[in-house]
Every structure is written in structure tokens, then in C-alpha cells.
Amino acid sequence: MLLRAILTAVLLSTLATPIMAAAVPDQSTGVVAPDKSPISWTRAVNTRPGREAPDLMERLRDGFGMPDLNNELVQKYQNYYMQHPAAMRRLLDNGRRYAYYVLEELERRGMPSELALLPMVESSYNPKALSPARAAGLWQFIPSTGRSYGLSQSWWEDNRRDVVSSTGAALDYLSYLYSLMGDWHLALASYNWGEGSVGRAVAKNQAQGMATGYDDLRMPAETKNYVPRLQAIKNILRDPQLVAQMNLPVLPNRPYFESVALYGKHIDLDTVAKLANISVDEVKALNPEHSRPVMKVETINLPKDRVSQFKSNLNAYQESEKPLSRWGSYTVQPGEKAERIAGKFNMSLSQLQEANGVSMKSLSKPGQPLLVLSNPAAEQTPGAASLTSLNENTPVNVAETPDKPASKAIPAHADAVSTKTKASTAKEDKSSKTQKSNKSEKSDKTPKTTKPEKSAAKTTSASSSKPAAKTATGSKPATKPTAAQKK
């Protein structure tokens, strides 16, 4: 009896003690949140008061969860934006189509809302931004890492520019970096410089008995400026009075776009614009991944208030048996000149070249498949075929004419916010070249690592951007981990 009583007491005391459940990886990232996470990691519907606010900035403020950084660089960037409110207005205006979606995804994952400001630093919220290191999109993926994260790139489209796909990949990578570093500032430094580089800098400080915080590490000038730029933007936007004083635009707290299923149909950009009663530029802005004047897509993004009209018009259009695309495929015949091909399909030479994205020489290459405007006579023309004969990688020699980066934008304040080693723009360029020379260093990750590093400092080109440009220093290993990967 005594033994039974003892066993019963032990059992009851065990049941009374809270059982610590094993950490469960987030399903979208495959990583476990560290104990020091400043926010909830669960995928729960956001219930903060700001969620129902009419202004997206109020909702954004409610989700701030990162510790603040306070140093001279933060103050310099903040002073610049306060003295140049037009720069801040451009950043917000660029983000008006996309910021709501990014914030929704952050809240769904339980991540701090400051990350919705990161595309302002990376690309000025310009999905068409392209750096000299060929990093592209809102989140600036380099080609190899984009492919590692499932962001395919072909002659037809570049999904690094896809707002929906690239946002998912970027948040996957940031989640991984935070689980690795346990500190958001170091996670952001890793996003810019690469987790291997940050890890080595931390290890070096540890070996010397030094602190290992963001301000304590020796980093490239761009990475040193990276988080201060984000913090400066945060400081301004979290102050409603300062926002009003700078006359910054109000971003409505409602979705700007909605995805509409097209089930793999070929459809022209201008046909979409016509059916939705919007401009072709608006179609391109919401679907920036598409490189050609005709798309083959499963879904397309449209302004939410035009979705109903588009669906109705699309149904009527298809019932009338009108073609959704005016484009077809043509194979260059031996001895044909580009001028003759263009004339055969009632196209200008520049129109033919722009539609195909190849050099003038390639337009006359025998066997080269080309995108051409449909012509009744094309069916009797040797080499003419339906659009479906163009596969995702045509034309075959697209590598002859790689995308040209937009002109590098270096703002007037670049020197003012640089570190002491950057006394002039010339020095900044020299530093950029030095960083680029370290490109191979970024790929020294051991096979045990489950995620590739993001490319280091990149020069983001966005014509509407005022913040300082960035220079790439490397690329990531092509090793693909079990979870989604980025940059």
C-alpha cells in the first residue's frame, strides 16, 4: 500500500508539471524558432488593433518586433530622409501595390513587420530593379540562388521578379537566418553579406573576447550601413506626427491586387489590359516577371477592383472565339535577313528585336525560333508554327544578350552616410570592386550547411531610389537544402 501511494504521488506530480513540447519546425521554412524570438512564431490570424486601421502604416507599427539600433549611421540616414521627404514619398509610392501583400505574409508567419520595409532598402520596392551582380526583384536574388529557391528564370519569365513567389522565398530565407543567428540584426547582416561571412566575423570577435553584436563586428561598408538604413526608415514611419509633417502618402490597409487563374493560357499583355480596363503598364507592374509581350501563365495578378470585370470580359471574349494572343512562332530559314522576317509579319525591326530579346545577329540565325505577330499568310510560310512550339528556353541563344542592369544610382547623400573609409564616390567604387573580388569566398560553405548563403553586398538599381546603391560581393553555393532557399 505504501509503495502504491508513493507511485501515485509521483505520477500526479508528473502530470501537474507542464510538459515542454518539442520545438516544431515552421512548415514553410523547415526551421525552428529560437527561444529568444521577440515575436510569436505561430501561424495565427493577426488580432492586433492596427489590423483594422484604415492606414497600412498604423498596422505596420503594431507589428514592429525588432530591437532598435541606435548609432551615428542611423541618425545620418534619418536626417537625410527628413531633409529629403521626396525620397521617402517615392519609396512609399513604389510600395503601394506590394506592401500590403508583404505585410500579410509576415503576419501570417509571425515575423516582425519591419521586414516589410526591407524592399525599400533592397530595391526601393521596384520589382524590375537589376544590379550589376544580376540580382533582381524586390528582394534582389542572384540567378543561382533564385533557382535554388525555386524561382525559375527563362526566356519567357524571371520569377525573381514575381512579387508573390519572391516574397515567399525571401521570408523563408530570413526565417532560416534568424533561426541560425538568434538575432535580427545579424540575420539582416547575413541577408546582405552572407551567413558564412557574418559567422566568421562573429567567431573572430569571440576568439578575441570581444562583443558580437551588429555594431561590434567588422563588416563591409555596405553591410555596416544596411541595418541603419532600415532603422532610419522605421524611426520615421513609426512617428505619425513626423509622417504628417513630411507629407508622406497614406497607404490603404487593403489588398491592392488579386491573383486570377488562367490555367496555362497564352494571353497577350495588351489583351489583359483591355479586358481588365487598365493600362499595359499596370499589367506589367503587377506581373513584372514576364519578359515577353505574351504570357503563358497559371495565374495573373490584377487590381482587386478590376477582377470581376476582367473575368466577365474574358468569358465573353472566349465565347466569341477571338484569340487571346496575336503572337506565334517562326523559325528562321537559311539566308533570311532580319529585315525580311520583320516585313513578312508586318513588324518593324525594332519591334521584332524587342519582342525576342536577342541581338540583331541572332534574328538571322538559321533555325532560330522567333516570336512574331500572327499573320494569315504565316500558315503557308515555311517555318511558321503555332505559339506552343516555343518552349520555355527559346530563343536558344538568349545568353548572347544578357539583361543590362539599369544605370547605377548613387544619391547625393551616399558619402554622408558612408563609413569613415568612404570619403568620396570614387572610394566607394573602389570598395565595390574590392567586395566583388571576394565573390569566390561566399561559396566556401561546408556540405553540412543546409541553406545556401545569400549573395553579399549588391548594387541595387532603381531609378526611383534615393538611398545609396549596393555592390555585390559574391554568390551562393548551388546546394539545395531540404527547405526553401533564397538569394
Residue positions annotated with a catalytic role: 122
How far apart (Å, rounded) are the C-alpha atoms in residues 226 and 461? 16
Comparing CA positions, the residue from 172, 110, 116 lying closest to residue 141 is: 172
Show Cβ contacts of residue 59 under 8 Å, excluding neighbours closer than 6 positions.
Answer: 48, 50, 51, 53, 103, 113, 253
First to last CA, the chain: 66
How far apart (Å, rounded) are the C-alpha atoms in residues 7 and 180? 42
The x, y and z cell numbers of residue 323, run together, are 484569340
Q: 195-207 and 163-181 helices cross at what angle (nearest 10)? A: 20
Q: Which helix (H) or strand (E) holds 328?
A: strand 327-331
Q: Which residue has the cell 539566308?
A: 335
User: Is 120 in contact with 129 (CB distance < 8 Å)?
Assistant: no
The x, y and z cell numbers of residue 209, run together, are 573576447
* Environment class of 11 (CB within 10 Å of its CB; exposed 0-12, middle 13-18, buried 19+): exposed
- Angle at the Cα of 426 from the Cα atoms of 424 and 429, rounded to 5 degrees: 115
